[in-house]
Structure formats: structure tokens, C-alpha cells
Amino acid sequence: MIKKALDSLKEGNFVLVYDGDGREEETDFIIASQFVTPKSIRRMRKEGGGLICTTVYHPIAKKLGLPFLSTLYEKASKNYPVFQRLVPDRFPYDARSSFSVTINHRENYTGITDIDRALTASEFGKFVAYLQWNNIGNEKAQEMFGTNFRAPGHIHLLNTSSHLLENRKGHTELATALMIMAGLAPSATICEMMSDEGTAKRKEDVMEYAKKSGLIFLKGKEIIEAWRIWEKELE
């Protein structure tokens, strides 16, 4: 099933990923950022309903100097004491949030339309691919980033943990691992699936949706197992 999922991602399709029982217990739409279109955004918005975000692999985040948002709040708390009261210290399933900054592509108008968000996500994916396969220094990479994107914006960037799928096993890491194993730019655009009752869509309902829609459904543990095998094959 993993191979089918990787092949599907390489064709620009969605896959559905459930993180795991006892964690968020949520399923996300996942697509390679480089292949995002307005139609992709529309589907996530209408059939997912959660927050549309784009992942950033740790080495890329480090090159671009992209901090975790919680770190920014911590640094800003000296000037804005309210941030001291907003410390994210009560996560029931994780040690920290993966949220980084929000961005828009500089050619966006408002940034929120399907067209604008697709432009931001896809161009970021292509930019990440360029950084991944070319020897670009940090300063030059950050200059290029600022030339093409601005902040704040309407696409939430999510930084992966430093050691992928070791100390954090969230959708940010699971989706990015899939991109890497598929040989794509290490950035995925993701969105949680919500139910009409206002809760996360049940795993069983998502699996039924996947069958009807012809989409591949994966559990987090399947991706983690495949990632471990993939890493060993690189040794």
C-alpha cells in the first residue's frame, strides 16, 4: 500500500493519512506541495474542512531560518508579556506545536482565495525543491525566500522535528516522510478532515470515503514502518 501511495503522490494525487489511535486521531488530506492547484485547495476546503497548512522539512527550515512560532512568542514575551501567559504547555498528545510563520506569495491579492493559496503552496514546494537539489547558501536562500514570499499570510507553515519520525510522529512528519520516500520536494500541503458534527471525521468514515473516492488511506504506523526500512536501505 505504501508503494501505491508514493506512486499516487508522484502523480499529483491526494492520499489520506490517519495519525494513530491515542494521538490526535485525525485524518488529513495530503498532497505534494509542488503539485497543489486551486482545485486541490477547493477540495481540502470543502471535503476536509480543517486548516490548510504546508510542511517544512527541518534542514530547509534551518536554511531559511524559520523558527517555531512558540519560539517567536517566547522571544517576544519581553516586550509583550501576554505571550508569557500563552505558553503552549498543555498538549495532550505532543511536546510542542509544529506551527511556524504564515506566508503569502508576493503575487497574491488577498491570499485567501483558492487561486492565491494554491499559488503560495505550489511555489513554496517548487522553491523547496530548488533548495533541496542545489547548493544554495543560507543567506542567499533567505534572500530568495523574501523575494518571493511575505509574512504574515494565509498558508501556515509547519516545521518538522529535527529527527524525522523519532521524537514526534504527527501529520507534519508523516506527510513529509512520504514526500521524501517518493523522491518529491520535502514539503506536503495538508488539511484535517472534519465531520458535520464539528468533530474530527471518524477513521471508519474516512475509510469509507477513501473507497468511494478512489483515494489511498494510510495509518501513521504504516508510514513509520516504511520510513524505518527506507532509512536502513540508505545505510
Catalytic residues: 28, 53, 93, 104, 154, 192
DSSP string, the chain: -HHHHHHHHHTT--EEEE--TTTT--EEEEEEGGG--HHHHHHIIIIIBS--EEEE-HHHHHHHT---HHHHHHHHTTT-THHHHT-----SS-SS--EEEEEEETT-SSS-SHHHHHHHHHHHHHHHHHHHHS---HHHHHHHHHHHEEEEEEEEEEEPPSSTTTS--SHHHHHHHHHHHTTS-S-EEEEEBB-TTSSBPPHHHHHHHHHHHT-EEEEHHHHHHHHHHHHHHH-
CB–CB of 69/99 below 8 Å?
yes
- The sign of the dihedral angle between the CA atoms of 5, 9, 11, 16 is positive
Q: How many CB atoms lie within 10 A of CB 191?
A: 23
